[in-house]
Amino acid sequence: MDKYPFLQKAGSLFNDRHVTRIGDVTEAWAGQPLKGPALIGAPLSKSSISHSGACFAPGAIRKALGGISAYSAELREHVIDHLYDAGDIQIHVTDIVKSHEHIYQTIHGILADQPDWVPVILGGDNSISYSTIKAIAETKGTAAVFQFDAHHDVRNTEDGGPTNGTPFRRLLDDNIISGQNLIQLGIREFSNSLAYEEYVKDRQAEVHTMEMIREKGLLRTIQDALPAVQKRADSIFISVDMDVLDQAHAPGCPAIGPGGLYTEELLQAVRFLAQEADISGIEIVEVDPTLDFRDMTSRAAAHVILHALKGFKQSR
């Protein structure tokens, strides 16, 4: 109100006329043409096999992202000038299968109408990956996935149904993606089982453990894998389970553990992929704001998105 010049909206951040934050360039999507990256939330956590508040992650990541400057000192320009946010996909109160179907139908439907959209998906637990990648594969052609994760996520479905530990088992069993087009990065010691290791290897998935990455380097590993994958697939999807990071870097994940990636390694890798490959989308999963410390994990997730946007900017 003009009568009260010092009264501002509750929760407003300090305003500096020389700083443009991501929140300043973000606008709710209302059906306008989508070209390039735009946000969408998939706040599902009922399918987690352990305690999870991942349903709160889309809001926490948006809050962290909105307050960060859009300016890249390395590029000497903003990473994005305008960012649409499509909002959150409705999750069924009790039915996990229906929730997965809601996610699939929504992303598939928007991509069918907006083929130039590059979804930036804010999960949610890792179970959403079945729905997101299925939608990508059915609208974008043969899909390859670079999966940053401490776990294979190929648990059987007989012991608990479609959980956050089963998405890549379901994707492979349903022939939505081929094993050769699944690149697993950051598989951590004492976090998996022999049966599931044998399963992904039988399916010819490319598995890179943390020990292998420490010996070779994450970026070099991706650089070596990418050319062959690009020949086999029409596009590449980036799936980031934040528990791929060492617990010191991402305390707000349900399955934290030592010996994971460093944040800078993950940021560099995501930026490289977004710059060098035909990216069909990116998802961030397994952030639990109820377990986080000073929003460290949500902030790290926000920076993963920023570095993806940086890569997109550099590729164009």
Q: Is pLDDT larger for residue 252 or for residue 277?
A: 252
What is the overall mean pLDDT for the chain? 96
Number of compact structural domains in the chain: 1
Residue 16 lies in a domain: no
pLDDT of residue 9: 87
The amino acid at 66: G
Residue 169 lies in a domain: yes
| pLDDT of 295 over the 90 cut | yes
CATH number of 304's domain? 3.40.800.10
Residues 24, 22, 42, 173: is their CA dihedral positive or negative?
Answer: positive
In this structure, what is the dihedral angle of CA atoms 176, 181, 185, 191, given to the nearest 10 degrees? 50
Query: At 8, is the pLDDT very low, low, confident or very high (cuts 50, 70, 90)?
Result: confident
Task: Give the single-character DSSP code of 222.
Answer: H
pLDDT of residue 169: 98
pLDDT of residue 199: 98
Task: Tell me what the mean pLDDT of segment 227-255 comes to.
Answer: 97
**Cα–Cα distance between 268 and 74 in angstroms, integer?**
13
Task: Tell me what the mean pLDDT of segment 166-173 comes to.
Answer: 98
Task: Tell me what the mean pLDDT of segment 196-221 comes to.
Answer: 98
Tens of pLDDT, residue by residue over 87-140, are 999 999 999 999 999 999 999 999 999 999 999 999 999 999 999 999 999 999
Residue 231 lies in a domain: yes
Residue 2 lies in a domain: no
Tell me how far CA of residue 249 lies from CA of 100, 167, 264, 294, in angstroms: 29, 25, 10, 12
pLDDT of residue 2: 78
**Cα–Cα distance between 265 and 307 in angstroms, integer?**
11
Q: Could you count the other beta carbons within 10 Å of the beta carbon of residue 162? A: 19
Residue 194, domain extent:
22-315
Tens of pLDDT, residue by residue over 210-226, are 999 999 999 999 999 99
Query: At 280, is the pLDDT very low, low, confident or very high (cuts 50, 70, 90)?
Result: very high
**Cα–Cα distance between 47 and 184 in angstroms, integer?**
22
